[in-house]
Structure 1
Amino acid sequence: MARQRPAVKTPTIARVPGLDTPGALHNLSEIHPLLDHYPRKTDQDGHLDLNTPKLWPSNPPLDEMLRSQADDDVDEASLPHGLTKEDLRKFLKRALVIKRTSNMTTAGKVPSMYALVVVGNGDGIAGYGEGKDEETARAVRKATNRAMSNLTAFDRYDDRTIFHDIDHKFHATKIQFRSRPPGFGNRCNHYIHEICSCIGIMDISAKVWGSRNPMNVIKATFEALGQKQKLPADIARGRGKRMVDVQHIYYGASE
């Protein structure tokens, strides 16, 4: 006697209202709460005007979140002198690194999201921050707030480039920065390009040697531009000369 096969249960599939029956087609001229987002224009009957340019936001969700972030968690006492929370909303924000990480524990792998965000006003002030969380949006917000708390003022020659050439090493990453004349532009690694845009450096060239790990490149750039530059005042003090002589000899300033 042949054995009967056990009955297979058909899984229940969640259906969209209006598309329950097989072969049913949704009227694309009507607004649907599940299929349509952010409708802009409707007629008197509530139908969507098909001439509407687009229903989706004009900016990607991540860029929109970074742009509209209130940054109210940042304490004004931790900001450089003269900056307020209103100024923070005008800052450039760049999420340069977003990746998934996992921590191996006795209970197994615990996944999380890592974000590194660079912020700057394009006028000599910038900073970076790192954040970790289970959700990408919250990791980016943590990194942005930490970057706002770690703002640093950068010295620039003629408000466009660095004072001199810099060779810097950070772990296995070596970077060479070269000062360039007006109109040269930023010809460098794309991470360095974004950082220079946030700082306000418009003429520079850079070459990365060794490890091109994004986090090392970003940290090496901030360390080199913020700590390795020698200012004309420091050179004059160390050589026992006047500030005018140093400007004339090293930077070709007119008398």
Structure 2
Amino acid sequence: MASTLLGLRCSATSLNVLMARSFTTSAAAAMARQRPARSLPTVARVPGLDSPADLHNLSEIHPLLDHYPRKTDQDGHLKLDTDKLWPSNPPLDDMLKNQADDDVDESSLPHGLTKDDLKKFLKRALVVKRTSNMTTAGKIPSMYALVVVGNGEGIAGYGEGKDDEVARAVRKATNRAMRNLTAFDRYDDRTIYHDIDHKFHATNIQFRSRPPGFGNRCNHYIHEICSCIGILDISAKVWGSRNPMNVIKATFEALGQKQKLPEDIARGRGKRVVDVQHTYYGASE
């Protein structure tokens, strides 16, 4: 008896669900038939366009949608390409040029050098860092660069530059280094004439002349400077402050101003240059 009642209840429940679904579907259909049709906005027709299919073919030039002047390729077909404002290789040198700092006058170069010779120079950006100037308006950031240039044959120089961009700062420093080229004396075109002890501010550097094949065994900043100058055999030791700017400036000052040449020694001792060359440097001539 209980199972019979349970079966009747399940049948009644299923019948109610089916009736509800059918009522909902029929009611929705009736409401849809009674709802007024929504009017679609009218699209203005463009003269010359017969169907929407014409809009998909964008590879062809349309007399109304495309502007003149028309251009044709080698085969005589119309093309949509426009002229480029910049060529494939934009002139970055002109965009980064600063007339106040980029003009290198040949009269400021050592005797015998031209602008064409500058293209063969070695360039080393040894120091590139971010700096800031504290003002009443706040911190004003900028980039600082120190560049060393040289031809590897006894001529080198260094320059400093500051700008908002790294590329412009390096360019300014490079051009200033070109204008500050100095000729360095080298013994046998490979090393210095004698040992040098030099102090620049808080930086002390000891330079030692070395025999052939010794190499450049020194601070990495001094190593790059000697490579630009053309010094192949030298040893150096830095004492005190190892600030890169002080080390670089001390190296240029010591190698360019503190060397005593055989001519100077012979003049001070009242001897011939040949005797001094033989006594101090072991020359056979």
Calculate the TM-score normalised by the size of structure 2.
Answer: 0.64
Equivalent residue for 1:229, pick from 259, 271, 280: 259
- For the pair shown, the structure with the greater C-alpha radius of gyration is 2
Shift of 1:72: 6.6
1:30-45 to 2 correspondence within 5 Å? none
Identify the residue that residue 158 of structure 2 maps to in structure 1: 128
Structure 2 residue matching 1:241: 3-state secondary structure: coil
- Is 1:177–2:201 an aligned residue pair? no
1:103-252 to 2 correspondence within 5 Å? 103-252=133-282
Cα distance in structure 1, aligned partners of 2:102 and 2:152: 21
Contact conserved, 1:115 with 1:140, CA < 8 A, in 2? yes
Deviations 1:181-226 (A, max 9, x none): 0000000000000000000000000000000000000000000000
Alignment root-mean-square deviation, CA: 1.4
Cα distance in structure 2, aligned partners of 1:72 and 1:80: 18
Runs of 4+ in 1 over 6 A off after TM superposition: none
Structure 2 segments unaligned to the other structure (5+ residues): 1-92
Identify the residue that residue 120 of structure 2 maps to in structure 1: 90
Distance 1:212 1:72, change over 3 A: closer
Contact conserved, 2:126 with 2:221, CA < 8 A, in 1? yes
Deviations 1:104-157 (A, max 9, x none): 000100000000000000000000000000000000000000000000000000
Contact conserved, 2:102 with 2:172, CA < 8 A, in 1? no
Matched pairs, number: 187
Structure 1 residue matching 2:246: 3-state secondary structure: helix
Contact conserved, 2:142 with 2:162, CA < 8 A, in 1? yes
Which one has a larger percent helix, Structure 1 or Structure 2? 2
Contact conserved, 1:96 with 1:191, CA < 8 A, in 2? yes
Structure 1 segments unaligned to the other structure (5+ residues): 1-64
Shift of 1:73: 1.9
Structure 2 residue matching 1:229: 3-state secondary structure: coil
Question: Identity across aligned pairs (percent)?
Answer: 91
Cα distance in structure 1, aligned partners of 2:152 and 2:262: 23
Cα distance in structure 2, aligned partners of 1:144 and 1:254: 41
